[in-house]
Amino acid sequence: MKSSTATRITAWIEADLLAALTEKTRAAGVSKDRLIGGSLSTELDYLETLPPNSERVAGFLRALGRANKGKARFNLTLTQEVALRMDTLCEEKGVTRDQFLSEYVRFLVEGDPAGSCVSPLDMAYRLLVDPRFDYTDEHEHPYDALSLSDEVIDLIPGILKEGVDVERQ
């Protein structure tokens, strides 16, 4: 995400989550910065709808977030606008940026713990390695136009220009 308004942030997230994110984005050939930078606004829209934590809960979450045991540094390039919005919303909701990013990465890597959706990264990978995994035979396939019969050619007068040797093609 190269632009004059880009900013680099550092967060601390669970090392196993960062390793899984790295593995899955590499397998799919997707940049972590572009994936998260491009989708974070939608997640921030959802965060915005949540009620804020009480001061007591926010204090507990801050204290919990200070423990770096089992965590790894997560560098991320975002637009300044998204980074500022994330910081503002996290402050308003009483969660740390690290905790928010950890939960977002967990969602990308693991999906919904209740099972309502699979890992978005697993789904993206599946689509990239087999774009027709969800394809049904009810509709014409784009490749169908590549397989013609002589009868079809006979039905299309003038499709072949004069001088083209059909037998050599």
Question: Which is it for the CA torsion 107, 108, 109, 115, positive or negative?
Answer: positive
Q: pLDDT, tens digit, for every residue of 82-141? A: 999 999 999 999 999 999 999 999 999 999 888 888 888 888 888 888 877 776 666 666
How large is the average pLDDT for residues 69-94? 94
pLDDT above 90 as % of the chain:
47
pLDDT at 158: 65
Considering only residues 109 and 166, tell me which one the structure prediction assigns the higher pLDDT: 109
Neighbours of 58 (CB within 10 A): 16
- Could you tell me the pTM of the whole model? 0.75
